[in-house]
Amino acid sequence: MKRRRFIGASLTGTAGLAIGASGLLLQSCKGANDKIVLALIGAGNRGLSTLVTCCRENTGVEVKTICDVNDLNSSRAAAEIEKQFGYKPLTVRNMHEVFADRDIDAVYISTPDHWHALATILACQAGKDVYVEKSPSHSIWEGRKMKEAAKKYRRIVQVGFQNRSGQYNYDARDYIQSGKLGQVVHIRIYNLLPVSKWIPMPEEAVPQTLVWDAWLGPAPYRPYTPALLKGWIYFYDYCPGFLDDAVHQFDLTRLVMGDPGHPRSVYGWGGKHIWNSDQQTPELQSITFDYEKFTVTCESGNVTNYMSKTPNDIRMDPSRFPEWRTNADRIEIYGTDGVMFLGRQGGGWQVYGPKEQIVAQQGGIHSDREHQINFIECVRNRKQPNSTIEQGHMSATLAHMANIAHRTGNRQLLFDAEEEKFIDDEEANKLLKDNYRDNYLVPEKV
């Protein structure tokens, strides 16, 4: 995958904890005219494009440092910032240099998912506000630790769930809550991506431009291969597979349904029956969540070549809607009086009644711009952002639950929402938390 190739820093056991002692003294509330100084941790395609959008759409913002364990990424990102804004930021390999820099107010974390929690916690301890890409956590336990760190150090943490900055999504929520759809009885989420096959590659010597141990970070050690550097989405050690994309729909579904708590149970099926490749994550998954008064299902995978995400021209045109039947990432919300088709990150929504009659609709555009504006506003005014780590954790938990159900035998698991663990199931509960390498421990006490 080209998205967010990675970042970083080599860490040592307790270094993260040492950073945070005076973290709250490092930043005060900034006014509208004060300059906000940023750093990027993880300079792949997604991280760079998000940072450029932030700097373009906000005044009084500048980038001081680009941090990536891959020198090719950081040099490319620094050159692009210079091209776009006329100055060239510093480049470093070790994220501790970012956290120790008192000039830096906030960090954008756009690494593979297995680094999100530790980098976010260290940033909070160092007094930095955080924009962290989805999926915010790599496990259910990590999400709780991120919440604790944000609260303890009074940091702004915005999760990259951009749908929470799109007005059309809130209007969809209001329509549902008005009762015009009737009682919601079932929701179907789709994340059926175009065809792609995991192609393994032989092990190689680590390039001099890459700090491989730091790229792996908290994850188990593996020998270097270019296929892993680019295809980390196919391995559980780094992300929740293709559900790393479906978390956008999970979060949007929760938003329009009024942000319900955890489901009572999950049934998760998954398999590799098309490519039969060496990837760890399923080629196709089918998931059911029980919310007591309604169910939510999700179909996710990469084997349906006839499906496609909403095209960018429709995403940015509020007068147009996707072709829902072959839309790869739509949400269908079934009420007793009608069904709503909802597009993520643009595409708007339409409600159908009897005889395929459209009874209500609203266009909508991709809200990445608004999301970046909201983050910088919150850094200045200290209000909570549109996509808090609390709600981000709740949405990411759905992906983790689904994968645990699949990995423990394609079965149903009952969930204790208060304790955030599975009921009477040791095998499943062992997967609530990762096993970390000694030099990259996510701390129990943040």
Tell me the average pLDDT across 267-290: 93
Specify whether the CB–CB gap between 168 and 255 falls below 8 A: no
Q: How far is CA 183 from CA 254, 261, 292, 296, 360, in A?
A: 16, 18, 13, 14, 16
Rounded mean pLDDT of the chain? 93
Average of per-residue pLDDT across 290-296: 97
Average pLDDT over every residue of 282-300: 97
- Put simply, whether the predicted model's pTM sits higher than 0.75 gets the answer yes
- CATH among 3.40.50.720, 1.10.1420.10, 3.40.50.150, 3.20.20.30 for 15-163+369-386: 3.40.50.720
Gyration radius from the chain CA atoms: 21
- Exposed/middle/buried for 318, CB within 10 Å: 0-12, 13-18, 19+? middle
User: What are the domain boundaries of the chain?
Assistant: 15-163+369-386
Question: Would you give the end-to-end CA distance of the chain in angstroms?
Answer: 32
In 3D space, the residue among 62, 85, 90, 64 whose CA is nearest the CA of residue 75 turns out to be 90
Instruction: Name the residue among 222, 218, 131 with its Cα closest to residue 442.
Output: 218
- The Cα-based distances of 436 to 142, 161, 305 in angstroms read 11, 26, 37
84-93, 124-133, 275-284, 428-437: the lowest-pLDDT one: 275-284
Q: What is the pLDDT of residues 169-181, one digit of tens each?
A: 999 999 999 999 9
Pair 250, 298: CB distance under 8 Å: yes
Q: Please report where in the chains the tokens 């929504």 appear, as a residue.
A: 349
pLDDT in tens, 409-426: 999 999 999 999 999 999
- In this prediction, residue 33 carries a pLDDT of 64
